[in-house]
Structure 1
Amino acid sequence: MSPLIDAWRHRPTHHKVRDLAIPMILSNLSVPMVALVDSAVVGHLPHAHQLGAVAVGSMLYVVLVSLLNFLRMGTTGFSAQAVGREDGEWFRRILLQGVILGLVLALLTMAVALPLTDALLALAGPSAELHDLAAAFFSYRMLGLPAALMNYALIGWFIGAQNARAPLAILLFTNLLNAGLSLLFVLVLDWGVVGAAQAAVMAEWLGVALAFWLARDELRRHPGHLHWRPLRYLRHWTPLLAVNRDIFIRSLAIQLVFLWLTLQGSRLGDATVAANALLLNGLQLTAYALDGLAHAVEALCGRAIGARDRLALKRALIVASGWAVLGSVAFSALFLMFGQLFISLQTNIADVRAVAFTYLPYLALLPLVGVSSYLLDGLFIGATRAREMRDAMLITLALSFPLAWALGSMGNHGLWIAFLGFMLLRSVVLGLYAWRIDRHPGWA
């Protein structure tokens, strides 16, 4: 029997992946569902610029938050390795450092970004109506940033501890509350686009309160004591800061791609930027679902590396990869068969629907092209190999922009083909780095 088949048939690993991935898939799916609800609610208001305002304002906020997503990624790897080493003191220190870092970064980001709102929106060259609504949406949305970043650190810490139920509870509570409040504020109370932003802010602060409450039980499961004295010295922050620095650079590169896609689409008209936003909601739906398996890879591989168990590492990768490929095929088939229904549920604006229907085949290809990059990200995060993730993304970006420039004359088709090329290159370059590490010096 080949080692590949033997690893795939290891039932305990299937059970571990299932127990981690299913709750994370369910919780992750609640995140893009909020964007879908916001798009559906605002998309049934009478004007395209209202939907476009939510698309542009949300994209600016998502870019900032995603740039700071290193808080979750860095915390996960260190938390998983602390559990693998049974180091309760380090487990507690990582939680505290992640929360403090999230709060500080949120306040600094708000201080810089809010005064620059008009300048950021000017990059898109939107209509006057879209500009004013997007600015209002973005400004309100930023009030939830401290809660969002603290929640990132807490969720990453839970994932590293192989506790998938807590993130499920946190994300479902936060995002379903967000969706419900958005319906209430926009459709019932008629607060318009700003009401959708206010709903998100209220939900994020209540969600982080729940996360802190759940953290108490997790700490009881991993005995240890937090020593405060080391936190006074920079050297005890250096590992987390170094990993987060490299993941930040990697996140900045990938968010530049999404920002470019939105800004280029906005230059093609309000209907095009709105249609692209609806299609990207489909990508987010797929990415968040498949990231449930990537989170399982982060936790299981991080623990295996902490325990120096190479066989467990190989089994986790093979089992998670097999299920991820099946999931990506299923998503592609669903978008091919039900893509028009997916768009129609989000808006009844005829010209936006027509544009979105034209580009549905690109959305169907994305799960197949992107799935391997999600899993490889999980491996690098669990191993706290952030430097290699950073370098791989920078190489991918350097190769992708000449392609985008060459396809510029093709309009929105060129945008989507270039984006598919970026996702494919991302997988290839990450795969080459993973192969190199596996040969020398090894993941452990």
Structure 2
Amino acid sequence: MWALAAPMIASNLTVPLVALVDSTVAGHLAHAGQLGAVAVGSAVYGLPIWIFGFLRMGTIGFAAQAGGRRDGDALRRLLVQALGLAVGLALLTIGLALPLLGPLLQLMKPSATLDALTRSYLQIRLFGLPAALMNAALAGWFLGMHRPRLALRVTVLTNLANIALNLLFVLGLRWGVPGIAAASACGEWLGALAGLAAIRGQLQRFPGHLHPSALRRWSAWRPLLGVNRDILIRSLALQGVFFAVTVLGTRLGDTVVAANALLLNGLMVAAFALDGLANAVEALAGHAVGARDGNALRRALVVAGGWSLLGSLAFALLFALGGHAFVDLQTDIAPVRAVAYAYLPYLAVLPLVGVWSYLFDGLFVGATRAREMRDTMLFAGAAFLALATALHPLGNHGLWLAFLGFMAVRAGAMAWIARRIAHRGGWVAQAR
């Protein structure tokens, strides 16, 4: 479990590092417009990265199941499909984004300097998008193959290359904002090349052949595309809930929405760390389903459930005992601090409630049951809206109670569906 989880926890926690390095370098340039351009450009560039996050999640389960069956042909076909989708979606995005940059930026009404610098940043940074999406697909494939250290290696190489090239292009060659974009794009391509170079060694463990004729059949694409579609809908619904929390908090005042944002940062830190255990479950559950090994599946869930409980307890204690320090690290604005302190108990409870949905996500992803993930997320999102409406008179307390209810309903609905599947013959018996 920890051989899989530890590298993924480390990898998850480095996710925001590229944007952090870029903004830090930009923050030491001559004027604020340069930092603003990198901030806006990174936010726009991050949209397709987030939207196409299914390239990783959708690949893990199929790769793990093929590995459990020792099916080298399926592993090769899946790899080509995932990389093909990554490149195709990247080229489509670039083709749409370049002509739409002008109208998109005009919606933000930037200054002339900010507009020009942001365009320059994005026009260069987008050339790294194919590599970034390939890295996501490769990360899913490597984790499904029980090789999380390869995914971590690619992430570390990408980040180190980004740091080194930022120093060269920006501080050495004085390229400014274009240099920051070029450093990030080059780092992503170096990471992708390292990942592609590692493929051959992994395939040697699973003898087989790639059959081009299979790639021309719709039946070979339908399962992967169906899972990716459902994961996309699920992710959009999840982000919709977070967006609703921000919008509803905004209506309660600037201080409230700022305090809520600080507390949600704590939830994101806990989620990134606990997701490492969910990633391990994805790989182990998928392998067990592919091998039709019910005992291995139960062991994975029991061990991951125990460690997830301990991890959530640790974060609950961290926020309960050190919550004031966590808030103080993020702001020195006294009114925001005071409001955040008042709602810290909700943050302390959240890891204990939310961890179970992360665990079930791992099970459903590994078993390639994205449809059930989609349905439970939509149901939980509807429950959040109902609770937020009913509890509106309680103000921000009602909003936090509605969010806690959303996390509880999400976990409960997934547990109920998991139990139904088990009663119908078991996850392993219904492997697809």
Q: TM-score, normalised by structure 1?
A: 0.80
For residues 94 and 25 of structure 2, the distance between their equivalents in structure 1, rounded to whole angstroms, comes to: 27
Residue in 1 that maps onto 2:420: 436
Q: In structure 2, do the counterparts of structure 1 residues 181 and 255 end up closer, same or farther at CA, with 3 Å as the change threshold? A: farther
Aligned 8 A contact 2:315 2:348 in 1:
yes
Query: 1:315-366: CA deviations, max 9, x gaps?
Result: 1100111001101111222233334444454566777666655554443332
Residue in 2 that maps onto 1:146: 130
1:136 matched to 2:112? The reply is: no
Residue in 2 that maps onto 1:103: 87
CA RMSD of superposed structures (Å) = 4.2
Q: In structure 2, do the counterparts of structure 1 residues 426 and 238 end up closer, same or farther at CA, with 3 Å as the change threshold? A: same
Q: In structure 2, do the counterparts of structure 1 residues 181 and 316 end up closer, same or farther at CA, with 3 Å as the change threshold? A: same
Aligned 8 A contact 1:48 1:349 in 2:
no
For residues 227 and 81 of structure 2, the distance between their equivalents in structure 1, rounded to whole angstroms, comes to: 13
Comparing 427-436 and 274-283, the one that deviates more:
274-283
Q: In structure 2, do the counterparts of structure 1 residues 159 and 183 end up closer, same or farther at CA, with 3 Å as the change threshold? A: same
User: Post-superposition shift, 1:428?
Assistant: 1.2
Q: In structure 2, do the counterparts of structure 1 residues 229 and 99 end up closer, same or farther at CA, with 3 Å as the change threshold? A: same
User: Post-superposition shift, 1:279?
Assistant: 3.9
Aligned 8 A contact 1:297 1:320 in 2:
yes
SS of the counterpart of 1:373? helix
Residue in 2 that maps onto 1:334: 318
SS of the counterpart of 1:162? coil
User: Post-superposition shift, 1:106?
Assistant: 2.4
Could you tell me which amino acid in structure 2 is paired with residue 327 of structure 1? G
Residue in 1 that maps onto 2:68: 84
Greater gyration radius? 2
Residue in 1 that maps onto 2:227: 243
1:319 matched to 2:309? The reply is: no
Q: In structure 2, do the counterparts of structure 1 residues 183 and 317 end up closer, same or farther at CA, with 3 Å as the change threshold? A: farther
Q: In structure 2, do the counterparts of structure 1 residues 199 and 397 end up closer, same or farther at CA, with 3 Å as the change threshold? A: farther
For residues 34 and 50 of structure 1, the distance between their equivalents in structure 2, rounded to whole angstroms, comes to: 17
For residues 237 and 332 of structure 1, the distance between their equivalents in structure 2, rounded to whole angstroms, comes to: 43
User: Post-superposition shift, 1:202?
Assistant: 4.1
For residues 409 and 356 of structure 1, the distance between their equivalents in structure 2, rounded to whole angstroms, comes to: 19
Comparing 264-273 and 145-154, the one that deviates more:
264-273
Q: Structure 1 residue aligned with 2:141, among 131, 142, 157? A: 157
User: Post-superposition shift, 1:98?
Assistant: 0.3
For residues 173 and 371 of structure 1, the distance between their equivalents in structure 2, rounded to whole angstroms, comes to: 30
Q: In structure 2, do the counterparts of structure 1 residues 48 and 245 end up closer, same or farther at CA, with 3 Å as the change threshold? A: same
Aligned 8 A contact 1:31 1:175 in 2:
no
Residue in 2 that maps onto 1:217: 201
Q: With CA pairs under 8 Å and 6+ residues apart, which has the higher RCO, 1 or 2?
A: 1
Aligned 8 A contact 2:117 2:177 in 1:
no
User: Post-superposition shift, 1:240?
Assistant: 1.0
Query: 1:70-106: CA deviations, max 9, x gaps?
Result: 1111211111111111111111111110011012122
User: Post-superposition shift, 1:434?
Assistant: 0.7
1:420 matched to 2:398? The reply is: no
Residue in 1 that maps onto 2:218: 234
Residue in 1 that maps onto 2:372: 388
Could you tell me which amino acid in structure 2 is paired with residue 332 of structure 1? A
For residues 104 and 391 of structure 1, the distance between their equivalents in structure 2, rounded to whole angstroms, comes to: 28
Aligned 8 A contact 2:61 2:283 in 1:
yes
For residues 256 and 60 of structure 2, the distance between their equivalents in structure 1, rounded to whole angstroms, comes to: 37
Comparing 264-273 and 171-180, the one that deviates more:
264-273
User: Post-superposition shift, 1:109?
Assistant: 3.4
Q: Structure 2 residue aligned with 1:94, among 60, 69, 78? A: 78
Aligned 8 A contact 1:43 1:347 in 2:
no
For residues 304 and 362 of structure 2, the distance between their equivalents in structure 1, rounded to whole angstroms, comes to: 10
Q: TM-score, normalised by structure 2?
A: 0.81
Q: In structure 2, do the counterparts of structure 1 residues 86 and 392 end up closer, same or farther at CA, with 3 Å as the change threshold? A: same
Could you tell me which amino acid in structure 1 is paired with residue 63 of structure 2? S
1:304 matched to 2:288? The reply is: yes
For residues 207 and 266 of structure 2, the distance between their equivalents in structure 1, rounded to whole angstroms, comes to: 42
User: Post-superposition shift, 1:418?
Assistant: 3.2
For residues 61 and 293 of structure 1, the distance between their equivalents in structure 2, rounded to whole angstroms, comes to: 28
Give unpaired runs (5+ residues) of structure 1. 1-16
Give unpaired runs (5+ residues) of structure 2. none
Aligned 8 A contact 2:377 2:410 in 1:
yes
For residues 189 and 405 of structure 1, the distance between their equivalents in structure 2, rounded to whole angstroms, comes to: 55
Residue in 1 that maps onto 2:4: 20
Aligned 8 A contact 2:54 2:232 in 1:
yes
